[in-house]
Chain A
Amino acid sequence: MDLISSLALGFSVALDPVNILYCFIGVLLGTLVGVLPGIGPTATIAMLLPITFSLNAETALIMLAGIYYGAQYGGSTTAILINLPGESSSAVTAIDGYQMARKGRAGAALATAAIGSFFAGSVATLLLAFFAPPLARAALNFGAPEYFSLIVLGLLVSIALAHGSILKALGMIVLGLLLGMVGQDIYTGTPRFTFGVRELFGGLNFVAVAVGVFGIAEILRNLENEKEREVGVKAVTNLWLTRDDVKRIVMPILRGTGLGSILGILPGGGHILSSFASYSVEKRLSKTPEEFGQGAIEGVAGPESANNAAAQTSFIPLMTLGIPAHPVMALMIGAFILQGITPGPNVINEQPALFWGIIASMWVGNLLLVILNLPLVGLWVKMLSIPYRVLFPAIVLFACIGTFSINQNIYDIYAIAFFGILGYLLIRFGCEPAPLLLGFVLGPLLEEHLRRAMIISRGDPMIFLHRPISATLLGLALLAVLIAVLPSIRRKRAEVFVEDD
C-alpha cells in the first residue's frame, strides 16, 4: 500500500463523525489539563483509560492521543498568561511568553504558539507517516535478543535524559521492573508476589499504578503547601501578528520543528528536551540575544514548535516497535492492550485502519486545537480561576471510580492507595516517578524476551553480542549511560530539567 492510499484510508477513519467528536473531546480535555497546573496528561490519560474501554479501538486511541498533544498545547497558554508552565515542556515558553504578556502582547504570544504548534504538528505527522512503515518492516525481523536489547536501550536512555540523580532513576526503573513481575509467571504459571490473593494473579493493574504514582502522589505533594494561583492577564486582545513578527518567527518555527521531530523519537522525555534545545539554539543564532528573557517572540515560536513536533514523533517508537518513549506512551500501550491489540510492528499490517487513522487524526486534532485555542482563549483564562481545592477531590473520585469500572476489582483500588503513598514518599525523597512506570510496563516484556533469547541460545548470554542489531542497540545503551555520567553533561542536565511532569 503506498502512502497516498494509506493516508486516504487514515483520513476516512479520522473524518468519521464519531471519531471527530472523540478527537475533539480528547484535545479539549487535553487543553484543559494542560491549562490547569497540578494535573498533567499522564494522570488524566490513566484516569480516562477505563472510560475508553467501552469505545472501539480507533476511537479510543484517537481520543487518548488527542489528550496528549492537546496538553502540550494547553500548557503553553498557562505558561504565557501566568508564568506557570501547565506542562513541563512549556517551562521554556514561560520565559519569553510571560514577558510578552506583561508588555501587553499576550495575544501575539498565544498566536505564535498556536501557529508554531500547528505547523510543527502537521510536519511531524507527515514524518510519522513516512518513517513508521519502513521502521515497522525492519522491526518485523527482530527476534527476542533484539527486543531485549531494544528495551534495555529504551530504559537506559530514559535515565540519561531524566533529571536528578542517575542512581535514583536506575533504582526507580528496577523497582518498576520488579513491580511488573507481580502475578502469574508467563512460562510456568507460578503465582509471584500475590500474597495468595487471586485478584493479583493477573498482575498489578496498570491504571492503578499510574493513577497512584502520578495522580494521588501529586495531590499529596500539592497539599504540602497550598497556594492559590493568580491570573495576571484578565483579557487577551489582538491576536494578530504584525508583518515583522511573522518574519521573525518563520525560521525559529522551522528549526524548532526539525529539532523536535528528531528528539521526540528518543525515549525518556524528548519533548521537554527539545523545547530547551530549541530555545538555546534560537538564542545562539539570534542577532539580538539580549532580547531573550525580555519577551523575544523567537523564544516562544521555537520551543513551542519543538515540543509539539516531539509530541507527535514520540508515537513512532510506540507504533512501530511497541516500545514507549515516555510514561504517556506507556499508558497508550496500556490502551492498546485493553483493546486487545499488541502494540508493535504488526499493528500497521493487521490494523491498517487503526494505524493510519491515528496518524490522520493527529492532523485533524491539530487543526481542532487551533480553532479551540485562539478564539476561545478567554474561556481558558477563566478556567485558571478554578481553585485547586475543588479540583483535587474530583481527581481522587475519578481515579477510584474509573479504576473500579475496569474490572470491578476492589484490589485495584487498594493498589491506588498503596502506590499513591509509595509514589509520594519516593517523589518527596527526590526520585522521579516516570522511570518507575516505564519499568513497570516494560518489565514483563523484558523478562519474556530475555528468557526466550536464553532458550534460543541454550543459555549462552553472548547471543546478545553476536547478533549485530542487538549488539548495536546495547552499544548505544552503554553510550547513553556513559554520556549521562560525564560531568560536563551532568551540569547541563541540571540546568535543563527544572521541572518534570
Chain B
Amino acid sequence: MAVNASRNDFASGAIFVALGGYFALEAMKYDFGTPFRMGPGFMPVVLGGVLVALGVAVAAKGIGKPDAEAPPAWPWRGIVLVLGTILFFAATIRGLGFIPVVLISGLATALSSSRNSLLSSLVISVGLCVLCMLIFVVGLGLLVPWVGPWLRF
C-alpha cells in the first residue's frame, strides 16, 4: 500500500469492522425485543454497531499518519506450523491417541523455530511427550488412550 496512512490502523480497523459487522448482522436474526424486555439480539446488535463505528474511527485516525517503522516480517513458518499443530491436535487426539499426537505435535512446533534442527526438535518432542504423560495422564488422570483406535488392528 503506497497510500499515506497507517497500515496498522487500517488493518485493525478492518478487523473491527468485519467482526462487528458479522456479530450485528447475525444478531439481526434474533429477537431484538424492547428496551423494557430486551431480546437476545439487543446487545449484540448494539455492540456490533458500536464496534463497526470504532473500526471506522480507528482506520480514519490513521489517515495521514503512516507507521514509523516497517512491519516485521511475517513468521510464516511459525504461523503454519504452530496453528497447524493445534488443529492437528484437535482433529486427531481422539483417533490417534495421546503418545503419537503429542510426539508429532511437539516435533512440528519445535521445527517452527528456525533455531531448532531436526535432531534437537526430535529430542524436544520426546522429552515433552514424557513430561506431558507424567503430568496429565499419570498425575492428573486425564482419560485419553495412549494409542488411539485408529492405530489398533
Contacts and interface: CB of A to CB of B under 8 A. Distances in A.
Contacts of B30: 185, 190, 192
Contact of A404 (B23, B61, B93, B128): B93
Interface in B34-58: 34-40, 42-44, 47-48, 50-51, 54-55, 57-58
Nearest to B143: A408
Contacts of B11: 425, 429
Contacts of A171: 12, 16, 51, 54-55, 58
A202 to B, nearest CB: 15
B106 A188 contact: no
Interface in A186-220: 187-188, 190, 192-193, 216, 219-220
A231 interface: no
A94 interface: no
B55 to A, nearest CB: 6
B1 interface: no
Interface string A171-182: 100110110010
A454 B44 contact: no
Contacts of A413: 86, 89-90, 93
Interface stretch (A32-40, A99-107, A307-315, A416-424): A416-424
Contacts of A451: 38, 42-43
B92 to A, nearest CB: 9
A14 interface: no
A390 B124 contact: yes
Contacts of B38: 450-451, 454
A226 B73 contact: no
A178 B85 contact: no
Contacts of B63: none
Given A190-B30, A400-B86, A51 B12 contact: no
Given A178-B23, A178-B44, A188 B35 contact: no
A174 B47 contact: yes
A447 interface: yes
B10 to A, nearest CB: 8
Interface string B77-96: 11100110111011101100
A220 B82 contact: yes
Contact of B9 (A226, A426, A430): A430
B27 interface: yes
22 contacts: A167-B54, A168-B58, A171-B58, A175-B16, A175-B20, A175-B51, A178-B44, A192-B26, A192-B30, A223-B82, A226-B113, A393-B124, A394-B128, A396-B85, A400-B89, A405-B136, A408-B143, A413-B93, A422-B15, A424-B79, A447-B43, A450-B43
A23 interface: no
Interface in A28-85: 51, 54
Contacts of B20: 174-175, 178
Contacts of B140: 51, 54, 405
A399 B109 CA distance: 12
Contacts of A134: none
Contact of B82 (A178, A219, A398): A219
B75 interface: yes
A240 interface: no
B82 A455 contact: no
A378 interface: no
B4 interface: no
Contacts of B39: 188
Interface in A245-291: none
**Which of B34, B113, B128 has the largest count of A CB atoms less than 10 A from its CB?**
B113
B36 A459 contact: yes
Given A192-B30, A425-B11, A392 B54 contact: no
Q: For this complex, into which size category does the number of interface residues on chain A fall?
A: 35 or more
Nearest to A408: B143
A393 B106 contact: yes
Closest 6 CB pairs of A and B: A459-B36, A223-B78, A185-B40, A413-B90, A429-B12, A223-B75
B64 interface: no
**Which of A171, A175, A388 has the largest count of B CB atoms less than 10 A from its CB?**
A171
Contacts of A396: 82, 85-86, 105, 109
B116 A389 contact: yes
A170 interface: yes
A220 B78 CA distance: 6
A496 to B, nearest CB: 20
B16 to A, nearest CB: 5
B47 A177 contact: yes
B78 A219 contact: yes
Interface string B114-152: 111000100011001001100110001111100000000
B125 to A, nearest CB: 7
A461 interface: yes
A409 to B, nearest CB: 10
Contacts of B77: 223
Nearest to B79: A220
A410 B55 CA distance: 32
A401 B136 contact: yes
A165 interface: yes
Contacts of B143: 408
B8 A174 contact: no
Contact of B86 (A185, A216, A390): A216
Given A178-B19, A410-B90, A451-B38, A223 B43 contact: no
Nearest to A225: B72
A392 B79 CA distance: 13
B102 interface: yes
